[in-house]
Amino acid sequence: MVLIDAKGEGNATRNKKDLSLLIRRFHGNCVALTATVWLLCGTASAQELMPRAYWPTPNGTNVFVVAYGRSVGDIVTDPSLPVTGVDSKINNLSLTYQRTFSLFDRTAKVQLTVPYSRGDTEGIVDNMLLQRHTSGLVDTTIRFVLNLKGAPSMDRAAFGELLKNPRTIVGASLLIQAPTGKYESDRLINIGTNRWSVKPAIGMIVPIRPTWLFEAELGVWFFGDNDDFLGQTREQKPVVSTAFHLIKQIRSGLWASLDANFYVGGQTNIGDTTQANLLRNSRVGVTFVMPIMGRHAIRTSYSTGAITTTGGDFEMFSLSYFYAW
């Protein structure tokens, strides 16, 4: 942690102040400080853009994914934090395993993601430049998806028929985020959230033409309390999230999509103080997937903030490698 004044001219004594001194100072002025690095590892926040989340695969399919992501911009998003000029550069690496199986004769999938993050964040605090370097594990996520209509449990032959003649698919999902990420209770900026979060959702895929699909999802994030936030309890209200994808199937395994989302809610309380940090944001992006030698595939995606009333004004690029068997 390095603290210098905004012009880079602070003396050596001031430069070596620990962030905890700033925390105590602001608490003395009754200002609640709130910040969390929202690390966008595909499935860990309301800001995710994940096309074809409800598309089925044949029974017994396993998928292993290695993903790299880089996010640049305003990723620390709480306006109650007296930090201006926020600039973050975050690199993420995640490992994901997914298994498709039959449940009540319907297609079901379970997905486990373990992310790692390394990056730097800076912003102006009390006319000083605060810089924070973070590295470590991010909160682990588990996602369960169950088909409700349009995709019963199927073998590869039946899946091939679905590709040729797509039909309306409706599914439900449950995303669980466990507090396994690195967390330091005396720091404003953290990788982990120190709380449990869950997101139930329902989604559907509607064929517009044989090679064009429209996908939509409606979900709600519910958050547990962080009972060790700068010596207080941090509560957060639910976040309602929607996502929309226009998908073009170019050929078997090769597809692209235009992606957008919108999410609202998430106002927080710290102790007895309600924060002015209601989320009302939207992101847009593109995704492209290309198969390589049958069992392998590469996915690239890019997204940026479209509406950013509370933070979220950042760009994200990701590159993923898939292996299926």
Between residues 163 and 247, which one has the greater pLDDT? 247
Q: For a pLDDT cut of 90, what percent of the chain falls above it?
A: 60
User: pLDDT tier at 253 (50, 70, 90 boundaries)?
Assistant: confident
User: pLDDT tier at 129 (50, 70, 90 boundaries)?
Assistant: confident
Instruction: Report yes or no: 25 and 18 within 8 Å, Cβ to Cβ.
Output: no
Between residues 313 and 172, which one has the greater pLDDT? 172
Please give the pLDDT value at position 81.
53
User: pLDDT tier at 293 (50, 70, 90 boundaries)?
Assistant: confident
User: pLDDT tier at 254 (50, 70, 90 boundaries)?
Assistant: very high
Q: Which fold has domain 2-324?
A: Lipocalin (2.40.128)
Please give the pLDDT value at position 278.
84
Write out the two tokens for 208: 């517009």
User: pLDDT tier at 13 (50, 70, 90 boundaries)?
Assistant: very low
Task: Using the CB atoms, write b or e for 145-155: b if 16+ within 10 Å.
Answer: bbbeebbebbe
Write out the two tokens for 293: 């030698």
Query: SS3 sequence, 185-207?
Result: CCCCCCCCCCCCEEEEEEEEEEE
User: pLDDT tier at 188 (50, 70, 90 boundaries)?
Assistant: confident
Distance CA 11, CA 7 (A): 11
Distance CA 219, CA 28 (A): 39
Please give the pLDDT value at position 84.
67
Distance CA 3, CA 124 (A): 10
Highest mean pLDDT among 19-33, 68-82, 202-216: 202-216
Write out the two tokens for 300: 């690239």
pLDDT tens, residue by residue, 28-81: 332 222 333 333 333 335 567 899 999 999 999 999 999 999 999 877 544 445
For 175, residues 6+ apart whose C-beta sits below 8 A from its C-beta are 43, 141, 142, 143, 144, 198, 199, 201, 219
Please give the pLDDT value at position 70.
95
215 exposure class (CB count in 10 Å sphere: 0-12, 13-18, 19+): buried
pLDDT tens, residue by residue, 261-277: 999 998 888 888 888 77
Given a cut of 50, whether residue 7 has pLDDT beyond it is: no
Distance CA 319, CA 324 (A): 17
pLDDT tens, residue by residue, 216-247: 999 999 999 999 988 889 899 999 999 999 99
- DSSP one-letter string for 134-159: EEEEPPPEEEEEEEEES-BS--HHHH
| Chain mean pLDDT for the chain | 83
Write out the two tokens for 64: 């292993």
